[in-house]
Amino acid sequence: MAFKLPDLPYAYAALEPHVDATTMNIHHTKHHNAYVTNVNAALDKFPELKGLGLVDLNKAVGTAAVPADVATAVRNNGGGHWNHSFFWTVMGAPTDSNGPSGELKAAIEGAFGSLDEMKAKFNAAAAGRFGSGWAWLGVKPDGSLGITSTPNQDNPLMAVADDKMIPVLGLDVWEHAYYLKYQNRRPEYIAAWWNVVNWEAASENFAAAKAGKVFGA
C-alpha cells in the first residue's frame, strides 16, 4: 500500500499571522509531497518493506531491516513523511487551544519546573540545531518527559537517534518552514510557533505515549 499525502486538518491560512499561508501551502504540497513520492519510490525497490507501516519503517532506520541500497532514501523521506504528518496535527488556529491537559502540565512541571522552563529548553534545542532539523518534546523510555533535537528528517523513533523517545510535540526548523516570513530569524519563528501549538493534540499524544503508543501506529 503506497503512502499518501495527508490532508491538513485546517486551511493553509489558519495559522496566520504566526505561520503564513504561502509557506504552509508550499510546505505541504511541495516539500511533504516530495517526501511521500520519494519514499514510495524507494519502497518499490523492496516491496517487503511496505508491510512495515510508517511508524515501524521509521523505527527500523539504522537497522539491518532496511537494505543499504535504500537506507538513506528511507531515512530522509520516510522520516520526512512521518515528521510532517505529525507536525501538521500539533498545530492549530491561535484561538483554538486551551493549553496542556492537567496530566501533561503536571508532567512538564515535574520534568522542567514549569511550562515556561520547558519552552525555554525546547526553544534552545530548536535554535541550537545547526542547519536543518527538528526539536522534540517526548516521553522517554523511563516514562519521563525529555527534549531533544534531530538533524535533517531524523526523529526520536529511529534506531539512529541519540535520544530515543515517543514524540509529544515536534517543531520543524528547516528554513523552508519559516524563511518566507522570518528570513534568518529562526528564534522569532520558534517563539511565534507557540501561539499555534495544539495542546489538545499534544495532550493526546502524551497520554498515548505513556501507554507506549506512537502517532500513526
The residue ranges of every structural domain in the chain are 19-217
- Of the CATH numbers 3.30.465.10, 3.40.50.1100, 3.55.40.20, 3.40.50.2300, which one belongs to the domain with range 19-217? 3.55.40.20
According to the model, what pLDDT value does residue 89 have? Answer: 98
Task: Provide the 8-state DSSP code for 24.
Answer: H
Does residue 152 register a pLDDT over 80?
Answer: yes
| % of the chain beyond a pLDDT of 90 | 95
41 pLDDT tier (thresholds 50, 70, 90)? very high
- At 104, give phi and psi (nearest 5°): -70, -40
According to the model, what pLDDT value does residue 217 have? Answer: 87
Q: Which residues are annotated as a binding site?
A: 27, 84, 172, 176
User: Residue 149 and residue 126: Cα distance in Å, rounded?
Assistant: 7
User: Residue 105 and residue 96: Cα distance in Å, rounded?
Assistant: 18
- Give me the DSSP letters along 173-184: -SGGGTHHHHTT
Q: What average pLDDT does range 176-198 have in this prediction?
A: 98
Entry pTM: 0.97
8 pLDDT tier (thresholds 50, 70, 90)? very high
According to the model, what pLDDT value does residue 80 have? Answer: 98
Task: Provide the 8-state DSSP code for 143.
Answer: S
Report the mean per-residue pLDDT for the chain: 97
According to the model, what pLDDT value does residue 186 have? Answer: 98
User: Residue 93 and residue 30: Cα distance in Å, rounded?
Assistant: 22
Q: What average pLDDT does range 55-59 have in this prediction?
A: 98
Does residue 1 register a pLDDT over 80?
Answer: no
- Least confident window among 1-5, 83-87, 176-180, 192-196: 1-5
| % of the chain beyond a pLDDT of 70 | 100
According to the model, what pLDDT value does residue 90 have? Answer: 98
Does residue 194 register a pLDDT over 80?
Answer: yes
pLDDT tens for residues 79-93?
999 999 999 999 999
Q: What average pLDDT does range 43-55 have in this prediction?
A: 93
Q: Which residues are annotated as a binding site for Mn(2+)?
A: 27, 84, 172, 176
Q: What average pLDDT does range 43-57 have in this prediction?
A: 93
Does residue 96 register a pLDDT over 90?
Answer: no
